[in-house]
Structure 1
Amino acid sequence: MPNRDLADRYRRLLAWYPRDHRERHGEEMLGVLLAGAEDRTRPSRKETADLLLGALRLHLRRTVGMDGGIDHRDVLAIVSLLGPVVLLAGAAPMVDRVLFKLRAGIGLSRWDLVENPAGPAWAIWCVVAVLCAFRMRRAAAVGAWLGTAGFVVAAVYAMGWFWASVVFYAAWLLLGAVVAVALTWSPGPARGWELVGGRRFAVLVAAVAVSAVLVVTSLGQYGLLFFPLELVTFVQGNGGLARWFLGLAALVAGALVAAGARTREGRRAALVLSVPALVSVLMLMVPMYSRLMLQMAVCYGVPVVVLLALGGLPRRVRTGRQA
């Protein structure tokens, strides 16, 4: 029957809209389209264009969170629970160096603190991760701010220019600051547990461990500032570089699964949790011996713009009921 064929054609066009939108409004839209079709046996070109453009606009609005359908407090709650676990991946290179010395029978000294100025910050973040696991939001928030400040202090005592060291810690400073904000102004880990659950939390712990092992056994660390891709490939070979990228992919995949790929809040939380992987890739793109302003713009500016543009960060933070 013509009407059935026409209805099927309209349904194929409506299939471009998000599923939940189709479930709520699909039949109503189909009825309106059929009522206005008169004797046509196929959608007009104008109808086809309007429907496709409407679907595209809705997807774009959802991508940047402009439709008001995202609870940013839930996004931050997930980040407050999972963020400290992701941050611990950054401590893996330091732990690897310390374990190597212990296995070789080399004692630790004050020089190790000079070589690893971020050691105290990583220790604080380890405590924060435990506090979040036990839903102790207020204590974890204090620790998160101290841990984030610890990276700045580490940059002061690093063996190099302060601002260059600040760029080096970009991934962990950015994620640490967001986690600190999330712990302070969101419902916190208690709400995060409700949304994530213990099983997905365990998935992230496993993914971070796998990522850290792959990164440490390939290029040695996540951020490789001043080492362009061509030089890294020449020194490490394609195999080492591939294993390093696989480590970043494991971190991103674990964040996506743990945060919840099926929900819009979960996907945006995963975007925030993937900042270390994003910054690590961006560092390979920074030209060697480039100016500090370019380094800062790439390693700090690009991730912030991406998070704001894709709705990973709220345009403003509203204080909600806190656990």
Structure 2
Amino acid sequence: MSVLENRYRLLLRVYPAGHRADYEEEMIGVLMAGSAPERRVPPPAEVADLLRSGLAVRLGRLGRAWRTERGSGWRDAAAVAGLVIAAMLAAVAGRRLVAGLRVLLFSSPDQPMAMFGIRGLLLLDVSLRFAFWALVCAAALFGLRRTAAWLVWPAALVELGAVIWWLPGTPVQSSIRLSWSLVTVGVAIACLVVARRGRPVPVLFGRRGLVLFSAVAGGLLVAEALAELDFATGRAWPVRIFELALFLLVATAVLTVAPGVRGRVAVLLVPAFAGPITWELALSSGLLTIVGSGDDLFAQIFLVLAVPLIAFAAALIVFQVWRRTLTNGHATNGHTTNGHTTNGHATNGHATNGHATNGAERFEVGEQG
């Protein structure tokens, strides 16, 4: 191999491997035939042309893959994920609403109401958060995709507005803890906006799935209220009922939809729950404290803002690898079945039997004649 040919082959690596396998030798032959015998370096014009055309082929394949991927279940998964996140945010707001009502109606007047809502508004902000997220859930469950996509914006505005209102009078560490809702609400907006052109939730769930999801979502809200009322009497639940009910809600939504959508739903839910779950695990294990400074502060910022992005990227990679493994496995099984079992025995066998039967019929007809 000459130096010029070697350099041409290096340039051709800009093309996808499949394209090189089909056309590399032919392209090398054309390039070498048009070059002077003593030339050692490709002309700049050829270098630019090869790079341009190679990148065009790669981008074209990426575009076709994206168009195929875009219509392969991600919109359906976004509809389900947006519904689950909205139900979770409604349950969180509902819990604070129940706690605030308990203090307002049954506790001593000097007990502060500001810990449950914005000072001076009683429970208006918490009530609005619960109402808007509940409306988003209802719209999605009734198949009103565009309505849900519109309602998520005022719901997000109220949710994030309450957080921003809390931040100035809150310690830095607690402010970072509150900021998990920024990521979660952002995922909810993205999912419901993308899902407005997909299939509605009733079609994805079916009648039984709708009933089951509604029952579990209602159970999540009731569990939140009961846990808060039980906490007020000084008794502790043996398990963290909110996490258990939320897990049942997610599992119900994932298992209700078709197998081709389940993995995508799980991938989209990862960034929504990675921040708060990681925070709670770090607090319960003693790795972080709500009050602190220095390295602890940077660790909290990393947990709440960076972990969801890293977790989403990891989940997407795992999903793609898993799907390719399944695709390759099905392709291998299909080749073996068609090549040996079906064509080799079943098809040829039927053909042979068919010829024998036809021959026997002709013999009988001849004798009768």
TM-score if structure 2 supplies the norm length?
0.51
Match of residue 93 from structure 1: 95
Instruction: Give 1:194's match in structure 2, choosing from 191, 195, 203.
Output: 203
Which residue identity lines up with residue 298 of structure 1 in the other structure? L
Which protein is richer in helix relative to its size?
A: 2
| 8 A contact 2:142–2:201 mirrored in 1 | no
Hey, what does 1:84 align to over in structure 2? 86
1:155 and 2:163 equivalent? Answer: yes
Q: In 2, are the aligned partners of 1:83 and 1:179 still within 8 Å (CA)?
A: yes
Q: CA deviation at 1:252?
A: 1.8
| Partner AA of 2:200 in structure 1 | R
The share of aligned pairs that are identical, in percent, is 18
Note the 1:251-270 alignment, pairs <5 A. 251-260=246-255, 263-270=259-266
| TM-score (normalizing by structure 1) | 0.57
**Structure 2 counterpart SS, 1:186:** helix
CA deviation digits over 1:106-148, x for unaligned, max 9?
89x9965427555433332222222223333333223212222
How far, CA to CA, are the matches of 1:175 and 1:89 in structure 2? Answer: 14
Unaligned residue ranges in structure 1 (runs of 5+): 1-66, 221-235, 316-323
CA distance 1:178–1:94, change in 2 (3 Å): same
Mapped partners of 1:252, 1:73: distance in 2: 23
Cα distance in structure 1, aligned partners of 2:185 and 2:218: 19
CA contact (8 A) 1:272 1:312 kept: no
Is 1:282 aligned to residue 287 of structure 2?
no
Q: Distance in 1 between matches of 2:102 and 2:260?
A: 42
Equivalent position amino acid for 1:176 in 2:
V
Aligned residue for 2:304, secondary structure, equals helix
Count of residue pairs brought into register by the alignment: 232
Structure with the greater relative contact order (CA < 8 A, sep ≥ 6): 1 or 2? 1
Find out whether 1:178 has 2:187 as its counterpart. yes
In 2, Cα distance between the equivalents of 1:243 and 1:170?
Answer: 26
Q: Which residues of 2 match residues 1-323 of structure 1 at below 5 A?
A: 71-101=73-103, 103-104=105-106, 113-114=118-119, 117-158=125-166, 160-161=169-170, 164=173, 167-187=176-196, 190-215=199-224, 217-218=226-227, 240=237, 242-244=238-240, 246-260=241-255, 263-270=259-266, 272-273=268-269, 278-284=274-280, 285-286=282-283, 287-288=288-289, 289-290=291-292, 291-311=296-316
Is this contact kept in 2: 1:124–1:143, CA < 8 A?
Answer: yes
Taking the aligned partners of 1:136 and 1:92, their CA distance within structure 2 comes to 23
Q: Which residue of 2 aligns with 1:14?
A: none
Unaligned runs of 5+ in 2: 1-67, 321-369
**Cα distance between partner residues in 2 of 1:216 and 1:279:** 24
